[in-house]
Structure 1
């Protein structure tokens, strides 16, 4: 196919990718590896060092803190994550900035040429996006590339690249249709990113035994939370103790609260230290004090936005909310996909939520507000309102909140993304009305 026949805009490319493959998720590395080989991505390292992050929860937080820490130390970086909240460009950050449309389009075109450069290879939306991002990273290899696994680990497209350090944050039940419900089996899939003789950073003290078993089978160097590295304290002034690439002892004290899970912060520090980078205390303090991650315990006034969509993430979220009491009511604006554990999420959040606004989501995996309401009613939960969409639910709530109330928006990336877009649109509208009112 000549380049003249390829889309020229990012929106056109994304529409093409969404329609091109009949299956949204198709696990397996054979097709991706073949196209990566044709693209030359397997011939030389795509970066000076590569850290791959897998896990059920905590991946995004760990990647964000790794990126912030590396940049504070003066390293050039690339970070690939998924999914996105508002713009596809969020998925690839180069030196802390979202990739522009031209960079993404160039990557998509490179993948398309490669997949047709022999026997045509069928790729999913995620696989094309991953290979396109790897192409962009490899064109100007950074000091550090941080790659977030999209689903599972062993068969995920990201796993076509060998990491220098592999991280497994947590293992919990999610994506049951693809990974099953057995935690040992899920752990084995997540551990598929580990490599022989290379560090395996285990970022939870409750990982199933299968993760460590895979590390043992491979001869990977296990560096586990609570053993090789630890954190002490909560909030401001916490302390980290770990080890460097040669096994030397390292400590950092008086660290700032990043507003993200401290186990993930400790894991990020440990993973970065294992790349051989000497950790500078001042740089670590600056990075953790400034790190931001939209959609993870993100406070916009009295509104808290969090993409948590499984019971494990919901339990952490409830714990954080209960530790930050308010004088009014906490209203949960909840929107979830149909293949997620609604009962488990509701049960975990219920101690921290006084009333609910279930909202519907669009798409083939959608769950309606009425469906969610049935789950809430079955638990005896109070329902304020049902809305067809997150934006509609947010607008309804905004007009009825008391000054002391707060809102928790959660259940899906789609829920948070739509409310975040509504919030930004509302803020722009208010700014415009204020400007008009103040005009002479």
Structure 2
């Protein structure tokens, strides 16, 4: 089968899309000989509500800048499934993924043993692990899909666990108690390993879990490592290496990603495979290309922010631009969201930096109809210019506005941003 055919099959072979728990996955991993040995010389696992993807990308870039071979596993993808797995800075090929899926299928249906049903994400996690072990990498960086303790990537032990931020999200799986959510995400920590707390505003439960499980080294942003704000495009970081020695990196380039995540990535790298060179960290941060994270294409800014915490960061970003003199006459947002997300929270955070809204319906079982977004925008005093049935319609409508919007934000979902990028690429052909 082709990769697309495999992905279609994987999407429907398990009765539910999300099935938290490690027992089924561990059974198949053992059949594949994936347990009992590390994925790489150094493994970093990243959990949190927001900032996971950028933290993964920065740890990976720092590792490669220091001459280490590395791989990443992240989700969801923006446009192609292959984006989820990288080896040495490159997306894996269709053939690599298909070969891994075939091995997993043979293992889960192994004759003489009970057949094991796996979710789309669980199969993808095992596929990434097979590819990493075959590549014999120095560093592997894993992004938790949902939660932490019961997420598929947690079957692999990490030398360093990072928790970026904690917010209320995925309440149907994690609940609405912030401390309970913190405990779930902190489930990635291991006895004797490193723990990086990537926010000064984490619930107390995260640190409690880290200390209770007996991590070897605990570093928290604002306490044991700190960062300055970016001034004239540069910032500085100071913290501790794995032995507790003071270390400092100065004149680092602004990666145009949250600096809390950049600081956490640097601290995780120090613990996992330091020492680090300021010159090489600077090179890593300068090389980053994160599609869908405050990505500019002409007047369009595309960001996958789909919860209030992420939307607040986008709002702060635009306010900082305005303080620096970039004040558009008109900034219009194209917003499309999934049904399990919080539109009121997102709109409330963005309303102060958005002039008008174009709302769009997304396709699929989890999609949110544009009419509910219209109501949410109006609840927060916003003005809806149009309600569209597709992202293409919304993009075209925005382009025909008179007067034109000086800046156009596309946000609310990976699906919204992916469709917008497809539209812009088609327009440029």
TM-score, normalisation: structure 2: 0.96
Give the counterpart of 1:205 among 185, 200, 207.
200
Give the counterpart of 2:320 among 320, 323, 333.
323
2:237 is the counterpart of 1:240: yes
Call closer, same or farther: CA 1:417–1:404 in 2, change over 3 Å: closer
Deviation string 1:366-411 (CA, Å, 9 cap, x unpaired) is: 1111111011122221011111111221121122264561111111
Q: Which residue matches 2:134?
A: 139
**Alignment partners' CA distance in 2, 1:168 and 1:231:** 17
Q: Which residue matches 1:80?
A: 73
The correspondence of residues 370-381 of structure 1 with structure 2, limited to 5 A, is 370-381=371-382
Deviation of 1:43 after TM superposition, in Å, equals: 2.5
**Alignment partners' CA distance in 2, 1:74 and 1:391:** 42
Question: For 2:266, what is the secondary structure of its paired residue?
Answer: helix
Contact persistence 1:336–1:367 (CA under 8 A): yes
Question: For 2:272, what is the secondary structure of its paired residue?
Answer: coil
Question: For 1:67, what is the secondary structure of its paired residue?
Answer: helix
Q: Which residue matches 1:188?
A: 183
**Alignment partners' CA distance in 1, 2:210 and 2:219:** 10
Question: For 1:322, what is the secondary structure of its paired residue?
Answer: helix
Contact persistence 1:376–1:382 (CA under 8 A): yes
Give the counterpart of 1:156 among 126, 148, 151.
151
Give the counterpart of 2:294 among 292, 297, 317.
297
Question: For 1:408, what is the secondary structure of its paired residue?
Answer: strand
Deviation string 1:304-328 (CA, Å, 9 cap, x unpaired) is: 1111111111111101011113332
Contact persistence 2:398–2:405 (CA under 8 A): no
Can you give the 5+ residue segments of structure 2 that lack an aligned partner in the other structure?
none
Contact persistence 1:361–1:389 (CA under 8 A): yes
2:41 is the counterpart of 1:48: yes
The correspondence of residues 263-282 of structure 1 with structure 2, limited to 5 A, is 263-282=260-279
The correspondence of residues 411-430 of structure 1 with structure 2, limited to 5 A, is 411-428=412-429
Give the counterpart of 1:231 among 227, 231, 244.
227
Contact persistence 2:50–2:164 (CA under 8 A): yes
The correspondence of residues 163-182 of structure 1 with structure 2, limited to 5 A, is 163-182=158-177
**Alignment partners' CA distance in 2, 1:130 and 1:275:** 21
**Alignment partners' CA distance in 2, 1:385 and 1:320:** 25
2:259 is the counterpart of 1:258: no
**Alignment partners' CA distance in 2, 1:239 and 1:262:** 10
Q: Which residue matches 1:222?
A: 218
Q: Which moves more between the two structures, 412-421 or 227-236?
A: 227-236
**Alignment partners' CA distance in 2, 1:12 and 1:329:** 44
Deviation string 1:211-264 (CA, Å, 9 cap, x unpaired) is: 001011101131111111110232422110011111111100111100100110
2:315 is the counterpart of 1:314: no
2:124 is the counterpart of 1:129: yes
Contact persistence 1:53–1:149 (CA under 8 A): yes
**Alignment partners' CA distance in 2, 1:412 and 1:233:** 28
**Alignment partners' CA distance in 2, 1:255 and 1:268:** 13
**Alignment partners' CA distance in 2, 1:219 and 1:113:** 38
Tell me how many residue pairs correspond in the alignment. Answer: 421
Deviation string 1:130-151 (CA, Å, 9 cap, x unpaired) is: 1111111111221000000000
Deviation of 1:286 after TM superposition, in Å, equals: 0.8
The root-mean-square deviation of aligned C-alpha atoms, in Å, is 1.1
Deviation string 1:42-90 (CA, Å, 9 cap, x unpaired) is: 1221111000000000001101111111111111010000001110000
